[in-house]
Chain A
Amino acid sequence: MPNSDLRSPGAWRDLPAERVQRFDAELAPLLKRYPADRKASAMIPALRIGEHLFGHLSPEVMALAADRLGTTPGRAEEVATFYVMFFTKPKGRHVVELCTNIGCSLSGADRIFEALKRKLGVENGGTTADDRITFREVECLGACGTAPAMLVDEEMVERITLEKAERIVEELK
């Protein structure tokens, strides 16, 4: 099994101590939301914090989340790979996600998607050569009335036109 050594519960000790401290500080208030014997409920919030602090969910970060929630790295990995918003591989400094589902497609998203791929020189899910932007299509964002819609670093941008989309990706540094 590849990387089996990194799946050890103690793999998180290789992470920089200062950021581990920040992880703990950010996680602490969220843990209070769940019963004391149900800390594992905070898995999604913990992984979200981990991804923001460490860039992506490496095996070490998953082990850190598991350690703090009293569960196994396997459980953390199961969650990290099930939900599409998590990145278990390095990504660009920014993530741009365009909805191409039915409402957005009826409003022109397909053409914008093709044009943005060309402009950024990436395939769906790819990262620009300068590591600036990871670009991918996503499923319905719940903005069908103001379609097409896009998420830019988790912030929703609606009524996208090609010009607007191009301007947004140009301005991301």
Chain B
Amino acid sequence: MSETLILTRRWGTKDSATLASYKSAGGYGALEKGLALPPSAIVDEVKASNLRGRGGAGFATGLKWTFLPKDVRPRYLTVNADESEPGTFKDRYIIEHEPHMLIEGIALTCWANDIHTAYVYIRGEFARQARILEAALAEAYQAGILGPKVLGKDFALDIHVHRGAGAYICGEESALLESLEGKKGYPRLKPPFPAVVGLYGKPTIINNVETIANIPWIVEHGGAAFAALGVGKSGGTRLFCVSGHVNQPGVYEKPVHYNLKKLIMEDCGGIVGGRKVKAVIPGGSSSPVLTADEIDVSCEFDALKAAGTMAGSGGVIVMDDSTCMVRALSRISKFYAEESCGQCTPCREGTPWMEALVHKIEHGHGQPGDVDKLAQMANNIGGQTICALGDAAAMPVQSFVKKFRAEFERHITERRCPFGDHAWGKTQESRDAVVGGMRA
């Protein structure tokens, strides 16, 4: 049976980003169908689809929508295109190849939830993708798909692009709202959740780009069909972004419960130079690392949770057996130290401490007891902060120390990095990158 492709089936086709191309492939048919249905019918289909948020938390999308209070207007939709978690690079391709699919998904979401204004918050570094989306929006307005009467129906909708300016934390939903309100991206204390008190204090749905891009297919084919593509309480396909030491890094659309080892060893053509897998981070840099022995596992949210890690944003980072795990952690820890917004003391102070200690160990200056100290630091950050960045910084440290402790200890006892001038940078430059199943 050939695999069903929802998001990537037209990636790489000429002019796929244009309205004409999208319409010729049946695009906006789901919107026509959806507008003829009562909004509650769309919410019901999304609930039945078992679509879970693709941004990282994996929360049930249909359920999230029902949290909007019944009687407060206006309501807003903000689409999270602040793709910044290391290892994650899928939303940008949706915008590049299928911006109208995203627009159609937004329109359906807004119709389903009585929303008339949507913002797409896109990270500032995605300048090209922001231009592509703006061009697609202009086409949609011109064609009467957006504006005072969506497809001629008595339903007004405006979609605006809002570019960020370089802050990982703005991918956190409440920080995103602060940023969209023109402030620095400090996460808000929750509750209240954005569904109740969101943008400008009004009820707000925040969904990831990939989540929203699935909505047209769900409306067209029905929630049950989407649910059937997945397993248990996780419906559909999802985009897995594979990077690191694989022969064909890239974006792969697979059923949500696809096997991680198969993805790496078969779809991605195995490891560069025929080396062995040493470690895999399955869901973006914050998700706990897996050893080579642990990767024969389903990528589904609950399955990876049971395996002690997270499906997160679908960013699979593969490291071969020449990788120094202390150095890998050092680089990841630097990221969280750089990107801590500084609002909460454990995160602001703790993340640079962790980074400094990992760096010290990596360079042969660690002391006996430092590994325990590192684990203790991580324990004092995780769960102690307003948002999840503290947890995101702590989880890699905890898992690297747990799974590769001997490597940390060796750095300390040998007073040097045992990998010397290790494999960083030895990746074969001719690797193929694959986008949506095609060579890019």
Q: Which residues of A contact B (CB under 8 A)?
A: 33-35, 38, 40-45, 47-48, 69, 71, 75, 78-79, 82-86, 100-103, 105-112, 138-147, 151, 154-156, 159, 161
Q: Which of A110, A138, A144 contacts B243 (CB 8 A)?
A: A144
Nearest residue, chain A, Cβ from B87: A144
Q: With contacts A75-B183, A78-B183, A106-B427 known, is A144 near B331, CB below 8 A?
A: no
The answer to whether B184 and A144 have CB atoms under 8 Å apart is no
A sample of 7 cross-chain residue pairs with beta-carbon separation below 8 angstroms, ordered by A number, consists of A82-B184, A107-B427, A141-B125, A142-B123, A145-B434, A146-B249, A161-B429
Q: With contacts A83-B164, A155-B128 known, is A107 near B335, CB below 8 A?
A: no
Cα separation A102 to B279 with both chains bound (whole Å): 13
Verify if B85 is at the interface (C-beta below 8 Å from A): yes
A84, A106, A110, A159 pick with most chain B CB within 10 angstroms: A106
Instruction: Kindly specify which of B44-52, B315-323, B384-392, B402-410 makes contact with the partner chain.
Output: B315-323
Q: Which residues of B contact A (CB under 8 A)?
A: 83-89, 91-92, 119, 123-128, 160, 162-168, 179-185, 200, 241-245, 249-251, 285, 315, 317, 319, 323, 328, 331-332, 335, 338-339, 341, 424-427, 429, 433-435, 440
The answer to whether B88 and A144 have CB atoms under 8 Å apart is yes
Cα separation A161 to B429 with both chains bound (whole Å): 8
Q: With contacts A75-B183, A101-B335, A142-B88 known, is A110 near B425, CB below 8 A?
A: yes
The answer to whether A139 and B338 have CB atoms under 8 Å apart is yes
The answer to whether B433 and A159 have CB atoms under 8 Å apart is yes
Q: Which of B92, B184, B285, B429 contacts A102 (CB 8 A)?
A: B285
Nearest residue, chain A, Cβ from B124: A85
Q: With contacts A69-B182, A85-B124 known, is A106 near B245, CB below 8 A?
A: yes
Q: Give chain B nearest CB distance to A100 CB in angstroms.
A: 7
Residues of A contacting B126 in the complex (Cβ-Cβ under 8 angstroms): 142, 156
Q: Give chain A nearest CB distance to B133 CB in angstroms.
A: 13
The answer to whether A145 and B241 have CB atoms under 8 Å apart is yes
Nearest residue, chain B, Cβ from A83: B165
The answer to whether B433 and A145 have CB atoms under 8 Å apart is yes
The answer to whether A45 and B426 have CB atoms under 8 Å apart is no
Nearest residue, chain A, Cβ from B181: A41
Across chains A and B, the number of contacting residue pairs, with CB separation under 8 Å, is 171
Residues of A contacting B332 in the complex (Cβ-Cβ under 8 angstroms): 102
Residues of B contacting A110 in the complex (Cβ-Cβ under 8 angstroms): 424-425
Q: With contacts A106-B323, A141-B125 known, is A33 near B183, CB below 8 A?
A: no
Q: With contacts A85-B166, A108-B424 known, is A44 near B179, CB below 8 A?
A: yes
Q: Which of B119, B167, B285 contacts A83 (CB 8 A)?
A: B167
Cα separation A118 to B167 with both chains bound (whole Å): 28
Cα separation A109 to B249 with both chains bound (whole Å): 16
Nearest residue, chain B, Cβ from A106: B244
Residues of B contacting A141 in the complex (Cβ-Cβ under 8 angstroms): 125
Residues of A contacting B119 in the complex (Cβ-Cβ under 8 angstroms): 33
Cα separation A78 to B165 with both chains bound (whole Å): 13
Residues of B contacting A144 in the complex (Cβ-Cβ under 8 angstroms): 86-89, 241, 243-244, 249, 315, 317
Cα separation A78 to B119 with both chains bound (whole Å): 23
A34, A42, A100 pick with most chain B CB within 10 angstroms: A34
Cα separation A141 to B433 with both chains bound (whole Å): 16
The answer to whether B128 and A102 have CB atoms under 8 Å apart is no
Nearest residue, chain A, Cβ from B396: A102
The answer to whether B84 and A44 have CB atoms under 8 Å apart is no
Residues of B contacting A100 in the complex (Cβ-Cβ under 8 angstroms): 331
Q: Which of B87, B123, B182, B245 contacts A42 (CB 8 A)?
A: B182
Residues of A contacting B243 in the complex (Cβ-Cβ under 8 angstroms): 103, 106-107, 144-145, 147
Q: Give chain B nearest CB distance to A138 CB in angstroms.
A: 8
Residues of A contacting B180 in the complex (Cβ-Cβ under 8 angstroms): 41
The answer to whether B331 and A105 have CB atoms under 8 Å apart is yes
The answer to whether B319 and A106 have CB atoms under 8 Å apart is yes
Q: With contacts A42-B182, A144-B315 known, is A102 near B86, CB below 8 A?
A: yes
Residues of B contacting A101 in the complex (Cβ-Cβ under 8 angstroms): 86, 285, 331, 335
Q: With contacts A83-B124, A109-B425 known, is A139 near B339, CB below 8 A?
A: yes
Cα separation A35 to B339 with both chains bound (whole Å): 30
Residues of B contacting A69 in the complex (Cβ-Cβ under 8 angstroms): 182
Q: Give chain B nearest CB distance to A40 CB in angstroms.
A: 4
B127, B250, B341, B435 pick with most chain A CB within 10 angstroms: B127
B86, B242, B249 pick with most chain A CB within 10 angstroms: B86
Q: Which of A35, A43, A146, A159 contacts B183 (CB 8 A)?
A: A43
